[in-house]
Amino acid sequence: MHIKTATFVVSNQDVSKCPKNNFPEYAFIGRSNVGKSSLINMLTNQKKLAKTSGRPGKTQLINHFLINEQWYLVDLPGYGYARVSKSSKKTFQKFITSYFQQRKQLVSAFVLIDIRHEPQQIDLNFMQWLGEHQIPFSIIFTKSDKLKPKAIERNILHYQSVLSEKWDELPQHFITSSTKFDGKEELLNYIDSINLSIKNTKSQFD
Ligand code: GDP
């Protein structure tokens, strides 16, 4: 898939104020600084669509971007930023959990993981929560340009072995680098294939 248009639609903290139309949507989430904004800008061929975080944890909003006038890319706030106060952590949890539990248009989430790091409990807990709520997700490993191919392979195998302690079936994963544009095509083709299958299933029942 080639992204021809990517337009900012709305930001809010309230799932009931998200766009009303029925475009399929894909939510991107991860720890602050994981490279989410860079990835979104890379995917959409834009420099500043998603704001790279000068002050991580500051923007706590659900951001909807309409892609090719067909689907929404949803940029969710980064989690796990130590300097955010307890009360704003609670608000964060509330509107994010409401988003995941209530948003019918959500097709899949992408959980971003920095490929250089040991599996972090906060990410594992979040994936566990998604699983318990039957929310489909894939993992996007970011910043792959920072490691050599052997180290990438080793870290992914390690990540998978940690996941397999809790999961019978491992989630699909993508390996990306926003500086090298790696993984872009795979990720967009994956989204495209899901969009197509949704369209086909729908037309069968129309
Ligand atoms: P966010 O907080 O998750 O939105 O993360 P950002 O996109 O703002 O990125 C955090 C930092 O990581 C910035 O300094 C980026 O330049 C850097 N970064 C993000 N993605 C990559 C990548 O793929 N490769 C490299 N080398 N650096 C990256």
Q: Whose CA is nearest to atom 10 of ligand 1?
A: 33
Test site for ligand 1: of 29, 32, 38, most ligand atoms within 8 A of the Cβ: 38
User: Which of 42-46, 47-51, 81-85 is modeled with the greatest confidence?
Assistant: 42-46
Taken in order 50, 185, 183, 195, the sign of the CA dihedral is positive
- Report CA(140)–ligand 1 centroid distance (Å): 13
Tokens of 190: 């994956």
Distance CA 67, CA 32 (A): 24
Which atom number of ligand 1 is nearest to the Cα of residue 50?
A: 4
State the Cα torsion 147-75-41-151 to the nearest 10°: 10
Backbone angles phi, psi at 161, to 5 degrees: -70, -35
Structural domain contains residue 144: yes
Distance CA 33, CA 36 (A): 7
Structural domain contains residue 193: yes
Mean pLDDT of the chain: 90
| Model pLDDT for residues 37-47, shown as the tens digit of each residue | 999 999 999 88
Task: Please name the helix (run of DSSP H) or strand (run of DSSP E) that holds residue 141, with its range, or none.
Answer: strand 137-142
Distance CA 174, CA 112 (A): 9
Structural domain contains residue 205: no
Structural domain contains residue 204: no
Distance CA 161, CA 144 (A): 19
How many domains would you assign to the chain? 1
CATH code of the domain in which 23 resides: 3.40.50.300
Mapping DSSP to helix (H, G, I), strand (E, B) and coil, where does residue 20 land?
Answer: coil
pTM assigned to the model: 0.93
Structural domain contains residue 150: yes
* Binding-site residues, ligand 1, Cβ < 6 A: 32-38, 52-53, 56, 78, 142-143, 145-146, 177-179
Distance CA 167, CA 130 (A): 12
Q: Sorting pLDDT into bands at 50, 70 and 90, what band is 79?
A: confident
Q: Sorting pLDDT into bands at 50, 70 and 90, what band is 51?
A: confident
- Report CA(16)–ligand 1 centroid distance (Å): 30
pLDDT (0 to 100) of residue 138: 98
Structural domain contains residue 182: yes
- Centre a 10 Å sphere on the Cβ of residue 117 and count the other Cβ atoms it contains: 13
- Report CA(174)–ligand 1 centroid distance (Å): 16
Which residues, in sequence order, are CB contacts of 191 under 8 Å at separation 6+? 1, 26, 71
Distance CA 183, CA 145 (A): 11
Q: Which of 58-62, 105-109, 150-154, 165-169 has the lowest mean pLDDT?
A: 58-62
Which atom number of ligand 1 is nearest to the Cα of residue 176?
A: 23
Question: Are 79 and 31 spatial neighbours (Cβ–Cβ below 8 Å)?
Answer: yes
- Report CA(37)–ligand 1 centroid distance (Å): 7
Q: Sorting pLDDT into bands at 50, 70 and 90, what band is 48?
A: confident
Taking 80 as the threshold, does the pLDDT of residue 103 lie above it? yes
Structural domain contains residue 181: yes
Q: Whose CA is nearest to atom 20 of ligand 1?
A: 35
Structural domain contains residue 124: yes
Mapping DSSP to helix (H, G, I), strand (E, B) and coil, where does residue 139 land?
Answer: strand
Taking 90 as the threshold, does the pLDDT of residue 78 lie above it? no
pLDDT (0 to 100) of residue 57: 46
Structural domain harbouring 195: 6-199
When pLDDT is averaged across residues 95-105 and rounded to a whole number, the result is 93
**In terms of Cα–Cα distance, which of 97, 94, 92 is closest to 78?**
92
Distance CA 178, CA 59 (A): 21
| Model pLDDT for residues 4-29, shown as the tens digit of each residue | 999 999 998 889 999 999 999 999 99
**Percentage of the chain exceeding pLDDT 70:** 89
